[in-house]
Amino acid sequence: MGMAGITKAVVLAVNTAPAKATYDAVYGGEPLLIRALVALSKAGIRSVCIVCHEGHGGKIARLIEAARTRVTLDYDISSIRTGEALSHVVSRLVEQWDTPFLLFETNQVVHPTFFAQVARFAASTKPVLVVYKHVWLKEGKVGFESGFPDKFKVIFAHPESFTKIALDKSVFQSNTFDIEPADRIEISPDIYDGIFSTDVVVCHRDHLEQLSFSTIPDLIHEWRKQKLLRLGFVENVWWLRVTGRESRQDRTEFFWRIAFKQISGEFSKLVNSHLSKPLTFLFVRLRFSPNAISILELGLFLLASAFLLVPQYWAMLVFAFVWQFSAGVLDRCDGEVARIRNYESEAGARFDMLIDDLRFAIPFVFLTIASYRQSDRDLTYVVAALGTVMWYSTAAYYHNRFLRRAGYMSIQSMGVDFLKTQAESRWFAVFRRIQPFTKGDIRTFYIFLACFLGNKSVLFWMLVVYAWPLGASYFFTILNFRHPSASAPATLA
């Protein structure tokens, strides 16, 4: 995710009043300032100037250093001296910059998806105020364009805290809109009809010359008076203005919408997500990283699988419950925590895929040992196990290499694109019908149910039968996959 021409930003960490959302207020397990810097890092911003009040520089530096592995940009901290205007500090910091930059305050949650769209405004000759598209306020009530995704509606649950611009939704017909000199347009949090500003701006050092401002709204007002202001629209991105007065329920709903994985299997949506939700927010409050949850998951795989060596029925049940909890519920938690805390990365996705393979591989090893012992040393189990491991390991290796080369961070997202490229043949229609019963976490539930039979040999052969066609599907995908962009659109005869 690069920002194509925008590599610098100025972040105003001057919100320190007790009644407001301060730069160090924790939202989704992260201070607001750190959330912003991580999002900027992922968007390709290479350097940031952070403006704060005197006496806050050391605290800010400690916050950043605690998250240094994820804040990959260079930063500089500048304090506002007593009696000095904010506008003077910002102008001084950017006086040597020859390229456009971002400017915003740390009174909002900004996700990396937001900045991916902001990049399009880099070439503007006017300062650009970023506005959310397809959402408006009419007589104090929020309206949405037809087809607006439900998951993003949560952003506008409390419109009173947003800055609004008194313009009709007709301005959304293009990606930008110039406010004409003759337009007398009000920009304020208090209006009841208009569109929603994000108070994030893209500007150039020339746009700040001879201006006096103490907040972003002040700066926007100055540009409005100088007839310079241009609006730039973003859509379907995560962003939230915060005030510090939001209820816990509001915050939970917003971050759960970010966390919830739309491409999960139906069983995962209906069952495991309801179990994972409270755990996910507990992990977030305790500042767990996704990798820490994955390691916990791996430890529970080993612990649960060890019970397979105990020749008692109750041990099978212990395995079933512990393994299902770790493979079904904790497996969701690590991804949900990653999305809430902005921990998503290619390395993390690869590690998660490894854990997904190990959730079946570890029990399979223990089942092989247990079945071999209980069958009076029948080598059939050893031969079948070795053949299965070699087959699946080879398929997984080539499949993961294919994913890396194709630019995918998960098997699920690639699978969605793969299905889009397949012709609607009769067999494929049947496949679509049975797919909800074969994908995702429902496979772990089948293993869970089989444990109640108390027969380890049955469980062993279930995993063998599972591994061989799965490996075959990996090779089939590699041979038949075409990226959707390379597929010719279907035409009607």
CB 317 within 8 A of CB 452: yes
- pLDDT of residue 8 exceeding 50: yes
**How far apart (Å, rounded) are the C-alpha atoms in residues 294 and 15?**
36
Confidence at 411, pLDDT banded by 50, 70, 90:
confident
Token pair 């704060």 in the structure block, residue = 52
**How far apart (Å, rounded) are the C-alpha atoms in residues 397 and 357?**
11
The pLDDT value recorded for residue 489 is 37
- pLDDT of residue 19 exceeding 70: no
- pLDDT of residue 487 exceeding 60: no
The pLDDT of 233-250, averaged and rounded, is: 90
CB 387 within 8 A of CB 329: no
Confidence at 4, pLDDT banded by 50, 70, 90:
low
For 159-197, write each residue's pLDDT tens digit. Answer: 988 999 999 999 999 889 998 876 778 899 899 999 999
Confidence at 488, pLDDT banded by 50, 70, 90:
very low
- Return the closest-CA partner of residue 450 out of 375, 360, 390: 360
For 89-100, write each residue's pLDDT tens digit. Answer: 999 999 999 999
- pLDDT of residue 486 exceeding 60: no
362 to 82, 216, 347: CA distances (angstroms): 62, 55, 22
Q: Which residue has the higher pLDDT, 182 or 30?
A: 30
Torsions phi, psi for 209 (to 5 deg): -65, 130
The distance from CA 230 to its chain's CA centroid, rounded to whole angstroms, is 29
Q: Which residue has the higher pLDDT, 476 or 132?
A: 132
Least confident of 222-231, 358-367, 429-438: 429-438
56 to 31, 63, 81, 178, 379: CA distances (angstroms): 14, 11, 12, 38, 69
For 45-69, write each residue's pLDDT tens digit. Answer: 999 999 999 999 999 999 999 999 9
Report helix, strand and coil shares of the chain as percent, to nearest 5: 55, 15, 30
- pLDDT of residue 312 exceeding 90: yes
The pLDDT value recorded for residue 435 is 63
Token pair 């998250």 in the structure block, residue = 67
The pLDDT value recorded for residue 354 is 85
For 132-147, write each residue's pLDDT tens digit. Answer: 999 999 999 999 999 9
**How far apart (Å, rounded) are the C-alpha atoms in residues 116 and 106?**
19
Domains in the chain, ordered, with CATH?
A: 8-249 (3.90.550.10), 260-486 (1.20.120.1760)
Q: Which residue has the higher pLDDT, 453 or 347?
A: 453
CB 483 within 8 A of CB 406: yes
Q: Mean pLDDT for the chain?
A: 88
The distance from CA 117 to its chain's CA centroid, rounded to whole angstroms, is 15
The distance from CA 359 to its chain's CA centroid, rounded to whole angstroms, is 24
CB 242 within 8 A of CB 21: yes
The helix or strand, by DSSP H or E, that contains position 211, with its residue range, turns out to be none
The pLDDT value recorded for residue 384 is 96
Least confident of 150-164, 418-432, 437-451: 418-432
